[in-house]
Amino acid sequence: MTLPYLEIDPVAVQLGPIAIRWYALAYIAGIVLGWIYIANMIKSQTLWKNDLNGVMSGQPPLSKDNLDDLLFWITLGIILGGRLGYVFFYEPDLLLKPWEPIITGQGFLQTLLGWVRIPPAIMIWHGGMSFHGGLIGVSLATFFYCRKHGLGLLRVADLLATATPIGLFFGRIANFINGELYGRPTDGPLGMIFPSYYDYQSDQWVYAAGAVARHPSQLYEATLEGLVLFAILFIATRLWGVLKQPGAATGIFLMGYGIARTIVENFREPDPFMPDFPLGLTMGMMLSLPMILLGAYLLRLNWRAKDAEAGTSPTASKKKTDQASLSDKEMNKEKAAVQKPKTPEGPQDSTKLSKQEKTANLAPKDPSA
């Protein structure tokens, strides 16, 4: 028994010769909703305020105007980084292929732009995008923007990390609608038979003969990378106050995504053009490993900083012990000084006088006296 595949037209809206696909709408929804979510977080003072000796302090890392300005560069980083990441990580042969017409087929747009040729490497509809490449692109865009405007990189990255699962969720749902990036064969109850392609002439999905049921790995990723990771970050920001600790939310996201992606890679069908890696590894696993390590490093730094503030780290404990020992020694010195008996001044003077008298008695007398 298998679950039915939802046969949805990949084109959401057709406006004459212009086709708006679900994949494009997923990116737009992820960016816009993420922007709204971050804007609301900036307004929420409770996420940033620290109570230090009864004094409330702490401000968001950037203003609403900064966020609006940064949104453009983030979008550019997603598109350029995502596409270049796909080309370099998965299909570097696209760099060597001859240029192709930007539009094929018949119609007004083909007549108008059919003569324009572009390299296949930048044709997003040939192969798609890479999340790891998009992450690199967004990271570079954020780094240069923060450097130019004097903003804290880790604190801005924390804000972006909390909203990234929103885009991941919609992106994986779009993969499912497109019938792409499906999973390995399975005879389990969650198996689905995915189509091979969509025939726009007959306006229907086409299934290969002998197609077998597969894991809907796109939905697994939408659940783990999107819903679960968003919930973890939501709880961490609201209940644990991680936005007050630079790098903590970024560390949680990097580790969470890396672990989720590694788990789902065991159910996801590897791309047919990818080589067989040893130990059953996939490209997605190997690209996620640095994310897990970097996330763990950021969380480790935060824990050490919190321990130092609380005075529970080995260094802080030793410092407190040394200060306590020094205070004890000073107190003992003061007690000894108070308890030590002082010699009266009178006897000392009489002793000195008696010695002088003795010296005077021993001296020879004047004969004329």
Q: What pLDDT does 132 receive?
A: 95
How far apart, in Å, are the Cα atoms of 164 and each of 3, 46, 277?
Answer: 29, 21, 29
Q: What pLDDT does 205 receive?
A: 95
Do the strands 204-206 and 197-199 form a parallel or antiparallel pair, or are they unpaired?
Answer: antiparallel
SS (H, E, C) the chain: CCECCCCCCCEEEEECCEEEEHHHHHHHHHHHHHHHHHHHHHHCHHHCCEEECCEEECCCCCCHHHHHHHHHHHHHHHHHHHHHHHHHHCCHHHHCCCCEECCCCCCHHHHHHCCCEECHHHCCCCCCCCHHHHHHHHHHHHHHHHHHHCCCHHHHHHHHHHHHHHHHHHHHHHHHHCCCCCECECCCCCCECCCCEEECCCCEEECCCCCCCECCHHHHHHHHHHHHHHHHHHHHHHCCCHHHCCCHHHHHHHHHHHHHHHHHHCCECCCCCCCCCHHHCCHHHHHHHHHHHHHHHHHHHHHHHHHHHHCCCHHHHHHHHHHHHHHHHHHHHHHHHHHCCCCCHHHHHHHHHHHHHHHHHHCCCCCCC
Q: What pLDDT does 342 receive?
A: 53
Q: What pLDDT does 368 receive?
A: 42
Q: What pLDDT does 14 receive?
A: 86
- Give the separation between CA 327 and CA 217, rounded to whole angstroms: 63
Q: What pLDDT does 334 receive?
A: 57
- Residue 148 has φ and ψ, to the nearest 5°, of -70, -35
Which residues of the chain fall short of a pLDDT of 70?
A: 50-57, 105-110, 311-369
**What would the two tokens of residue 30 be?**
């992820």
Q: What pLDDT does 259 receive?
A: 98
pLDDT in tens, 128-172: 899 999 999 999 999 999 999 999 999 999 999 999 999 999 999
pTM across the whole model:
0.81
Q: What pLDDT does 62 receive?
A: 94
- Give the separation between CA 156 and CA 143, rounded to whole angstroms: 9
